Amino acid sequence: MKKILSTLWSNEFYQGGVVLTAGSFIVNFLNYLFNFFAAKSLGPKGFGEITALISYLSIFSLPFTILATIIIQKISAAGIDRKTYAVLLEDLFVSKLKKMLFFCIPFIFFIPLFPQLTNLSPLSSYNLILLTVLSFFSSFYLAANQGLRLFFLATLTAVGAVILKSAGSFLTYVGIGDITLVQIFLFLSTLFSTIATYFIFHRNTIQKIHSIRKRIEKSVVSILFSRQFLIFSLSVAGISLFGTIDIIFVKKFFSPEIAGIYSSWSLFSKIILYAVGPFISISFIFFSSAETKLQQKNTLLVSIVVLLFIGIISYFLYTNFASILIAIFFGARFNAVMHYLRLASIFGSLYTALTFINNYFLSRKSVAALILPLGLPFYIITLFMIPKQIEIIMQTTILFSLLVIIIYCLYFLIKYLLRLSQFSN
């Protein structure tokens, strides 16, 4: 047994899996503390403001998320020395950035319109711009560090950033400062992540900028116009947008207090996803591996059954212990969300299952990964057409999630039956 464990631990994949899983649990717990302290100290209005800011940041950072995944893939799979490739990729990144700066100047004139467009306060709107710029740089270096398999340092950076973020809401909770302090620490945590990832990258790379820059540039361009990149981009964007569109919609068209209540409902839903997040991340690697191809379908079906049980357990907890859960996570000022907790457990279970199934199709480069993003325009149109009541928005979001999952399952079943018929013939 000791020999088996030693063999597994010497494997870089298993080491990275353990580090990333442990880091994910720590980061999720610290994020819980951030939300707990922010909700307790700021109340529904302030908490809704912070949640909307983070949701907008998630949407604005979508291109960085997509490109970061490509960077991880390219550096990991580099046929030459990974460190050399990473340095050359950074050189290309900087050179392209210099060329793009001129085209960013016109956007400066739109900055004063941000508060009106987003319904965020001026402070949140301008902080959003700074956070987006910093996220652009940190996403590159964080992805490069992961591609270089610096899992421990990358995880340590993420934990440090979340500790700093949580410190702001904690200080507000104990009576030092207000929402402005929370915003300052949000900025400082992103700044810390950017600086730390930059120095980790340069400390662990060999500064060789030579021959293959054109080769890398041609490779990057070919990826950006490939079918795989289109599927991946739309699929990742679809998952991220679906998790934030409703929060932004409510923030835009409802009062700050109702937006805060809805944000707490959404967070209760996402807790289920956060709880099984490491499992979903590892499953994506498992489904992408050619060595596990024979076990993938069975694993998918078993995993869906497990997620179903998790959904049943969450429904039981949210139904019977609503007041306790609200007291633990947010406090008495959020008691209004108690009436909607059953819906939160249903949506959270569906959203988790949807994310998991989408990852399965995405790992197989299947066009089925486009089902969610193609359905999003209909979902957005529906939000504008239905009555402006948060319970109806919750129900609409749940029905859309269920519909997407049904289409996923029908696609999987049809493909399975077609292969079965071909095999029998």
Query: Terminus-to-terminus CA distance in the chain, angstroms?
Result: 46
Burial class (CB in 10 A: 0-12, 13-18, 19+), 33: middle
* Whole-number CA gyration radius for the chain: 22
Query: Over the range 93-107, which residues count as b (16 or more CB within 10 Å of their CB) and which as e?
Result: beeeeeeeeeeeeee
Q: How far is the C-alpha of 47 from the C-alpha of 168, rounded, in Å?
A: 13
Q: Which is more confidently placed, 414 or 228?
A: 414
pLDDT band at 424 (very low <50, low <70, confident <90, very high): low
For residue 53, the 8-state DSSP code is H
Q: What is the mean pLDDT of the chain?
A: 78
Global pTM value = 0.70
pLDDT band at 418 (very low <50, low <70, confident <90, very high): confident
Q: Which amino acid is present at 350?
A: L
Q: What are phi and psi of 174, to 5 degrees?
A: -90, 5
Q: How far is the C-alpha of 419 from the C-alpha of 331, rounded, in Å?
A: 53
Query: What pLDDT is stored for residue 8 in this prediction?
Result: 42
pLDDT band at 266 (very low <50, low <70, confident <90, very high): confident
pLDDT per position as a tens digit, 213-260: 455 555 555 555 566 777 878 888 888 888 888 888 988 888 888 888
**HSE of 356 in the Cβ direction (CA atoms, 13 Å)?**
30
Sequence ranges of the domains in the chain: 14-225, 245-425
